[in-house]
Structures are given as structure tokens and as C-alpha cells.
A and B are shown apart, each in its own frame.
Chain A
């Protein structure tokens, strides 16, 4: 016991949602890092374009639009269950969280499967030339993200069924949604580069 001026924080809540949490800033850090990776890979793509008179070089056909565009729609579509899961998390509604997380996982399975078709229909192999290499690298980088997104969302969803579930877990649901948004939105410029640059340049 002592006579000291004090700032009593005992009434503060044991956590919070949104940008107030440390995990939000951690996720933001990952987003910055990965955005930089994507931007640099796109930069490398643009650099290689400048080195060739025709693009794609050597008369290679552009990647087939069908699969990439389909996957873009699936990815964009997944933002709906993602947002609903996020809100359910913020409202601490376990029932809804479970439903929408499972729907998200179904979308994730779909866009991972369609991604395999995208690779098969790029019309160029990674070891054909620098164009093939950069296209596979760009698509491969994004694929790492949709795979990890699927896996970590899967683990989180499993946890929401098996437990133990405390109130904090709902913050994790919200943070997961932020990362999901990044993965989908980062795809848009990459889609533009892979599928449309060869057609428009």
C-alpha cells in the first residue's frame, strides 16, 4: 500500500475488435509486405515487356480467359460470405459465424480447384522463356495466398466447432476476414496483368 497517484485501468475490457487490436496491425503488416511482393512481381513483368518487340514473345498465345475470369468471379463472390462472417464475429454470433465460415470454405475450395485449371490453360510453361517464368511466378505467388487462406480459415472454422471457444476467438474471425479481403483484392491487378496485358499490349 502506498500514497501514489495512479491511473486505474482495471475496468478496461480484456480485448477489443477492429483496428484497436494488435492482431489487426500485424495483419496490416503482412498485407504491406505481400502487396510489395506483388507490386514488384508486376514491375518485373512490365520490365520484361519493355525488352521485347512483341508480347507475349515468340508467338505464344495469351492465357485462356475463361478460367481466369471464372475464378475472378468466384473470388469476388467469396467476399459476401466473408463479410457476413466478419460481421457475425463482431456480433459474437456463433451460429452465424459457423455457417458463413463454412460457406467461405466452400468458395475457397472452388477457387483453389479452378486455380489448377488456370495453370493448365496458361498456354505456356514456366521453363519456356522469361514470359512463361514471370506468368507462372505471378500466378504461383497468388496461389500461395489462396492456399494458405483456405488452410488457416479451415483451422479457424474447425476451432469454432470443436472449441474451446472464448470471446476472443471472435476477434480472430474478424482478423481472418481482413486477410481474406486482401487476398481477393490483390488478385484484381494480377488478373489484369496475366490475362489482359498480353491482349492489350
Chain B
């Protein structure tokens, strides 16, 4: 049915959804695009910092018996490098992509809990700052990114270093958990009408599956790090042997988080791969259902592998065998995805632009890493190469291959959408080539070094071992990677200086983020779309309806049903607010205070309570858009009542 209607006035809609300008205004932003950009920039900045630390490590290890870095500084550097990459870069950057793109891809104007996501950003920033300030003050954690007790207990680490590490966990994981809840809720409740479950983009599925993993995995590391702080601060005895604590309890708790963590990093990467392959093959994904089920089964299985990090501890053999078996069969769902990707590329019209180049790089690197992973799953081999450079090689192949390569692909792919500018193809080829060659030069020799007996986390090694040449080669490779990253950063900055020239859909992609301008307007879509297919831009019929009837003078958002995305009700979303920032400040004070005295929790709780009340308390009488008490009549339906009217096309 065609009706002539007044579509919302473009200008007032833009003003309604605009985040305030100015310095103070910057602290009040709740627009998911603004927060998403901040996440991406901040996470990338931590990537650069972590990379600089790695460069220092490679410098020290380039020659035997080297004296550039002493043991104390080296131990802080490798710990901070690992902690940065895992907690401040890899997870936040993937969540940042989710924050920016999930609402756009599902055709919504906002993410589900905008203020909560803003709060999470501040927690990331403050937590990372806390870590690096501590490092610069000589109190950087130095017991490895997984901080095993008893070494991390106060008897062996009397300084505040291990407490800094433990609170870094609290900062970052609180933020990650909040973002995960927001992404799941966005996908369940804010989808465009017509976007049934089997029309949800694979990138969004990957983000949702990851978010569920976050909900179940991160509590484990938060509990463990809390127990560690309690041991160190108030004398509990979870992990210290003299009072019947147990060092292995830490390892179980940590790796129950730690193994899913790597899938939390990798699964969004596969979502990026699926997206880019679809676009550059110009056809929908072959085996969509298989791919989605692979994501889900990888997530489930990922929780059953953790003991493979503990094969050297002398556990009962039957237990070890189960984890060997599980660690091997988890390759199957990933393999399924690979075959679907190959089938899509094979049967489509493949064009190898820069994003696709990085995906091809992903294939070689990640699969190589996956193969060494299957090797590591076998206990006899594991007891030889565990805690050697072989393992260092393995996890860099899967993490850099499985996350960083797709991430660079994502940057090149989505840079035009986010900024409205285009990165250079010529420089992009150089960046890829240098990074690919440098990566293999750095990490491939490490497999051999591990097999030749070089343990990890050593600040130097004797010349007589014969490890010098391969280490020198690895350090040279690091220089190539650094060059690649520098060129990338310069290109990204250069592009920003140019004027906005990107088309809405330069790659002719199919998902909804390309159905709006580059960059998107404040309201995401001047007219909210509905969808009739999995790749809406390719598959929507020309007369596919748009949504009308939402208010243009307030942040009116459409909520739909969980399964079939039928329109259900509307909701006024929050205006920009300073309270997320203030709450983050209060939480920061509480967290930092509490590593010095347990009273910090008590006193710090007061400002935290005040800011949370400020966050929740209504700012204006009917900011929710519903009638004031006393009501003339009800407007909100009860759980099982149908919506008042509407919902039919």
C-alpha cells in the first residue's frame, strides 16, 4: 500500500540526534558512532604502545647476552606488552567495531544502552592510562600477562605491581561486560522490521556470539584477580601454599577465562572475514547457516579447552586426554567456515582490493597458526614446546593472523564509511607487503627456536646456545612490521586532511551500513529501512517500505520482537549526559584506592553511589515520553498485550 506521508524533517532529525559540540560537550557524548570511533582510536593507540614495547623486546633479544634492557625492565615490558595487547587492544578494538557497526547493520538509530557504552569507553581509557602511568613510575606489573601465583603473591612481589595488573583487569572487564550486554540487547531488540534471525548479517552474529562468550568468561578472570588482590591486601589465602591455598586454583580460574578470551578475539575476526569475502565476491555467503552454527559451536567448545594450558603441571592423564581431544576437534567448525569462505570466493566474482588482500593474508597466517595449535594439543609434544618460543610463534600466528589481519582489512574496508575519506591503494599494498613479510620473518623462526630449546620470557640467552642468528632474523622482521604500521598511520592521517569524497557504497556491499551516507548522519538513517533479505542493498525490492511515524523532535527508537523483528513499541532514548563520565571517574577512584587499602572500597563506594543516582534520576518530568502521574489512561501495554496498533505494512 502506498501512502503519501510527510517524512521527518531532515534537519530537525539531525539536530535531535546530534551530540553536543565543545569541550564540555565532548564528555557527554552518547552517540554510538562517536563512542565507537573513540574505542577504535584508543585501542589502536594501545596497539602502537604495545608494539613499541615489543620492539624493545626484540632489540634486547637480537643478540645473546645483550645489555640494552636489564631483567627488571624487561620483565615489566613483556608483561605490559601482553596485557596491553590482550586487554587494551584486541578485545576493545573488536568491541569498538561492534559498537559502531552493529546498530547500523541492524538498521537502528542507536545502540541499546548508549550511556553504559560511553561509561565503558571511559573505563577502558582510565584503566589503560592507569597501567601506563604505573609503568612509567616504575610500578609496571612484571609477572607476565597471566600473573601466576605464588610469584604474584605479596611474598614474592611485595610492590604494588601485581595489584596494578589485577585492577587493570577490573577496569577493562567491567567495560567489556557492559558493552557485551549492550550488543546482545541491540541485536535482539533493535533490528529493523523484516530482519528475521536468518537475515542477521554474519558480522552481527559474530559480535553476538562473542558477547555471550564475554558474559561467561570474563567473570572468571574478575573473580581470580579479585582473589589475588584480597590475598595481597587483606591476607586471604586462596593461592598461597603455607595456608592451604592452591596455586593451581589460579590456573584453572584464569584459563577458564583465558581460553575463551582468544576466541573472543578471534570470532569477531571471522565476522570481518565473512563480511569482506561476501562483498568482494559480490555474492551472499555460501552456507550461511553452517557459518552461523560454526560460530556458535566454536563458542561452546571454547569453554572446554582450558586445561591445555596446564599440560606441564602433571595432571591425571585421563583428564588431560579429554582436553587434547576437545582442543583438536574445535578445528572442525573453523574449518567449516573456511570451506564456506572458499566456496563463496570460488563461485563469486572475486576482486582483490586491499581489504581482500588482508583476508588472503589471514588465510595463510591463521591456518598455519591453527596447525601448530593442533600440534600443541597433543600432550607429548606439548610438554616439549610449552613455555618456549614455539608457543610464542603459535599464538602470534593465530592472534595476528586471526585478528590483526582481519582488522587491517576492516580498517581499509570501513575507513570510507567512518570518515568519508579513502585510504591510498598504492600505499595500502606496501603496508600489506611489508607487514606480511615482516610478520613471517619475525615469527616463523620462533617455531625453530622453541624446538631448539629456547624458553620464553627470558631477558637474555647465552651465546653458546646458537640461538643468536634466528633471534637476529626475528628482530629484523619486527622492523619491517614497524615500517608497515608507520606508513599506515601516516596514510590514515593524510587521508583525514583531504576532503570528504567517499560515496555511500564504494565497494557495492550488501549490508545496511552502506545504505546511508559516508559518514552516516547523526540519525544513522534519515529514513529507517526495513529488510526483505540477508543482503538488503542487493535483495530489497525497489519498493521496500521505510519506517515512518517516529518522532523527529526526540530520540525516538523503534523496538522489535526478538525472533521475527516485528515492530513492538517505541522508546525515547537518553540525551547526551555527563553522568557516564562522572561515574567512570568515581569507579576509577574506587578501584585505585582499593589497591592501597580495603577501606578504599567503602569510601570509594560513596561517590560511586552518588554518580549512579545522578545517572538514573530523571532529568525532566516526562523524559520518557509517557504521561505524568496521575494518568488519564494507560499507554504502556503489559507483557502479553498486543501493541496498540500498527506494525503492518
Contacts and interface: CB of A to CB of B under 8 A. Distances in A.
Direct contact of A and B (CB under 8 A): yes
Interface of A: 1-22, 25-26, 29-30, 32-34, 36-37, 40-41, 44, 47-48, 51-52, 57-58, 90, 92, 94, 126-134, 136-137, 151, 155, 159, 163-171
A127 B2 CA distance: 73
Contacts of B215: 29, 32-33, 36
B381 interface: no
Nearest to A6: B548
B462 interface: no
A40 B303 CA distance: 13
Contact of A133 (B236, B638, B640): B236
Contacts of A37: 219, 222-223
Given A9-B570, A40-B256, A51-B244, A17 B636 contact: yes
Interface stretch (B37-45, B246-254, B357-365): B246-254
B645 A11 contact: yes
Given A164-B621, A166-B629, A18 B546 contact: no
Given A3-B4, A25-B188, A130-B237, A9 B545 contact: no
A9 B546 CA distance: 10
A26 B185 contact: yes
Nearest to B638: A17
With most chain B CB atoms within 10 A of its CB, the pick from A2, A29, A170 is A29
B337 to A, nearest CB: 26
A90 B638 contact: yes
B613 to A, nearest CB: 6
Nearest to A156: B616
Contact of A129 (B3, B216, B237, B649): B237
Contact of A130 (B182, B243, B624): B243
B236 A126 contact: yes
A30 to B, nearest CB: 7
A13 B643 contact: yes
B639 A18 contact: yes
A130 B240 CA distance: 8
A26 B112 contact: yes
Nearest to B530: A7
B641 to A, nearest CB: 8
A44 B253 contact: yes
Contacts of B544: 5
Interface string B1-43: 1111111000000000000000000000000000000000000
A166 B529 CA distance: 31
Contact of A165 (B181, B227, B628): B628
B220 interface: yes
A141 to B, nearest CB: 8
Given A17-B638, A130-B244, A8 B180 contact: no
A14 B625 contact: yes
A151 B609 contact: yes
B637 A13 contact: yes
B626 A12 contact: no
Contacts of B643: 11-13, 16
With most chain A CB atoms within 10 A of its CB, the pick from B190, B624, B625 is B624
B237 A132 contact: yes
Contacts of A40: 219-220, 223, 253, 256
Contacts of B249: 44, 47-48
Nearest to B568: A20
A134 B223 CA distance: 11
Interface in B627-648: 627-631, 634-640, 643-647
Contacts of B182: 26
A134 B567 contact: no
Interface residues of B, number: 93
Q: What 10 pairs between A and B have smallest CB-CB spacing?
A: A18-B639, A10-B549, A29-B181, A168-B624, A127-B235, A133-B236, A167-B626, A11-B645, A164-B621, A11-B646
A58 B572 CA distance: 59
25 contacts: A2-B7, A3-B2, A4-B527, A9-B547, A10-B549, A11-B646, A12-B568, A14-B626, A14-B636, A15-B624, A16-B559, A16-B568, A20-B559, A22-B190, A25-B181, A25-B185, A26-B116, A33-B215, A36-B219, A36-B220, A47-B252, A92-B636, A133-B245, A137-B230, A166-B622
B217 to A, nearest CB: 8
A104 to B, nearest CB: 18
B135 interface: no
A19 to B, nearest CB: 6
B550 A1 contact: no
Given A6-B547, A11-B549, A167 B631 contact: yes
With most chain B CB atoms within 10 A of its CB, the pick from A7, A20, A48, A52 is A7
B53 interface: no
Given A14-B572, A36-B220, 17 more contacts: A2-B7, A4-B2, A6-B547, A8-B549, A9-B550, A12-B645, A17-B638, A22-B185, A22-B189, A26-B185, A29-B185, A37-B219, A40-B223, A132-B237, A163-B621, A166-B621, A167-B631
Contacts of B177: 33
Interface string B612-626: 010011101111111
B200 to A, nearest CB: 16
B256 A8 contact: no
A164 B627 CA distance: 11
Nearest to A155: B613
A27 to B, nearest CB: 9
B569 interface: yes
B184 A29 contact: yes
A32 B215 CA distance: 7
A32 B568 CA distance: 25
Contacts of B628: 164-166
A26 B181 contact: yes
A21 B246 CA distance: 44
B140 interface: no
Nearest to B567: A9
B130 interface: no
Contacts of B226: 137
B238 A133 contact: yes
B558 interface: yes
Contacts of B639: 16-20, 90
Contact of B626 (A15, A128, A151): A15
B210 to A, nearest CB: 14
B115 to A, nearest CB: 11
B571 A22 contact: yes
Contact of B237 (A29, A133, A170): A133
B234 interface: yes
B649 A5 contact: yes
A82 B456 CA distance: 56
A33 B636 contact: no
A10 to B, nearest CB: 3
B543 interface: yes
B189 A25 contact: yes
Contacts of A57: 244
B193 interface: yes
B148 interface: no
B507 interface: no
A3 B542 CA distance: 12
Contacts of B527: 4
Contacts of A36: 215-216, 219-220
Nearest to B250: A44
Contacts of B548: 6-10
Contacts of B593: none
